[in-house]
Amino acid sequence: MFMHSKKLQYPAKPDRPDPIMARRLQEILGGQWGEMSVMNMYLFQGWNARGNEKYKDLLLDTATEEIGHVEMIATMISHLLEGAPLSAKEEAVKDPATAAIMGGMNPQHAIVSGLGAAPRDSNGNPWTSNYIISSGNLLADMRMNVTAESQGRLQVARLYEMTDDKGIKDMLGFLLARDTQHQLQWIEAIKELEGKEGIVVPGQVPESYEVSDVSHILYNFSEGEDSKKVVDGKKALDGKEFKYGEKPEAMGEKPMLKPVSKDVYNTPPSDLL
């Protein structure tokens, strides 16, 4: 059960309206690495966790926090759109600077959402559940969570550099700090899970399933040997020695596909033409 408090998790009010910044903030709301993505990802990972109450609670604690972040950013976007002109031509006659602002404004903020936030990215592309991962394997999911928080924090940091508005910077500074915590907590969970399941996901796959001769070789498939330094003389985290190999000889044969039946209307092989 979720309960909503009318107070925001953290202040989200700019010093002044700025339609261009409102458009930019849409990226960390409804973009691939935005708050809507991590909110839904952690919710579904938590709901789908089976018999792992510690990790389930961690995921749902964080997911519920992220719902508050979505509200904060949506509120900030709405504040930034307050007073935005709806007639660029009319305002441009009075003030060319306003016309420049309207040129960078997301027109959907005026046409679709009525000067409010929308579940979209900074170019107006709708948020999609294709952005989220909930695999049922907690180690795989936690690694995705670190990636999501890393990309999200990177985008928040870039937005921080794009404004001098103290109100926006204050909210973004809070989000940066929470992204720090979330990365660190997922990394801590990963350490625990790796200790139980092993380094490689899924850890339950028997070694006999693998073609073990090639499981620890970095092949040189690109020009040069700069990548050799990554593995040369080192052991992998699973304790086995890395190897570095030149581009291998092809191990398979040239594929020869049989003709399909006539009713498929494919182009027949050249020797049948």
Q: Is the pLDDT of residue 18 over 90?
A: yes
Taken in order 155, 14, 6, 114, is the CA torsion positive or negative? negative
Instruction: Assess whether 193 and 219 both reside in one domain.
Output: no
192 and 217 both lie in a single domain: no
- The pLDDT tens digits of the residues spanning 3-13 come to 999 999 999 99
Whether residue 26 contacts residue 117, with contact meaning beta carbons closer than 8 Å, is answered with yes
When pLDDT is averaged across residues 95-117 and rounded to a whole number, the result is 78
Do 120 and 237 have their domain in common? Answer: no
pLDDT of residue 90: 53
Host domain of residue 229: 207-246
Q: Running DSSP on this structure, what letter comes out for residue 33?
A: T
pLDDT of 270 strictly over 50: yes
Based on the fold, state whether residues 31 and 77 are members of the same structural domain.
yes
pLDDT score of 246: 87
Say if CB 31 and CB 121 are below 8 A apart: yes
Q: What is the structure's pLDDT at 93? A: 47
- pLDDT for 240 equals 93
CATH number at residue 181: 1.20.1260.10
pLDDT tens-digit profile of 32-74?
Answer: 999 999 999 999 999 999 999 999 999 999 999 999 999 999 9
**Matching residue, tokens 């991962």:** 133
Sign of the CA dihedral 57, 63, 65, 68?
negative
Nearest to 47 by CA among 37, 57, 38: 57
**pTM summary value:** 0.88
